[in-house]
Amino acid sequence: MKVMSARDAKNRFGEFLDAARREPVVVTRNDRPVGIMISIEDAADTLLPEFLLDKDPGYDGWLFDKVSATLARVNSGEARVHGHDDAMAQLRERLRARTSGKTA
């Protein structure tokens, strides 16, 4: 991983960008790491898009409604909360059924 001072990153910005496209670049100030620059391609493999990219309009409202409805079903006894292992088993079964063309 390349290391570059903040001053060098500012003064040689084109080189800084080129380096970040090849590998992550740690940015230092007073010899202490203060940031990191990664390429957009590398960022796509992380959770950063979830935080930085715009969601479809209405997504937050849709998600809130789904979570609220699920909590209401749990609170009314209509649905129940599953433990992690049970939930993962159910998810695997649903995926298996979906990929085989059936619905679970």
pLDDT tens sequence across 25-36: 999 999 999 999
Both structure tokens of 57: 């309009």
DSSP letter for 2, please.
Answer: E
**pTM of the prediction?**
0.46
Cα dist from 10 to 4, 17, 59, 61, 81, whole Å: 10, 10, 37, 40, 52
- Spatial distance between the Cα atoms of 13 and 9, rounded to a whole number of angstroms: 5
DSSP 38-82: --HHHHHTSSHHHHHSPPPTTHHHHHHHHHHHHHHHHHHTSS-PP
pLDDT reported for residue 80: 86
Of 43 and 96, the structure prediction assigns the larger pLDDT to: 96
What percent of the chain is modeled with pLDDT above 90? 43
**Mean pLDDT across the chain:** 86
Instruction: Report the 10 Å Cβ neighbour count for 6.
Output: 14
* Domains, the chain, with CATH or none: 2-48 (3.40.1620.10), 54-99 (no CATH)
- Spatial distance between the Cα atoms of 93 and 3, rounded to a whole number of angstroms: 46
Give the full edge-to-edge strand order of the sheet including 25-29: 2-5, 25-29, 32-37
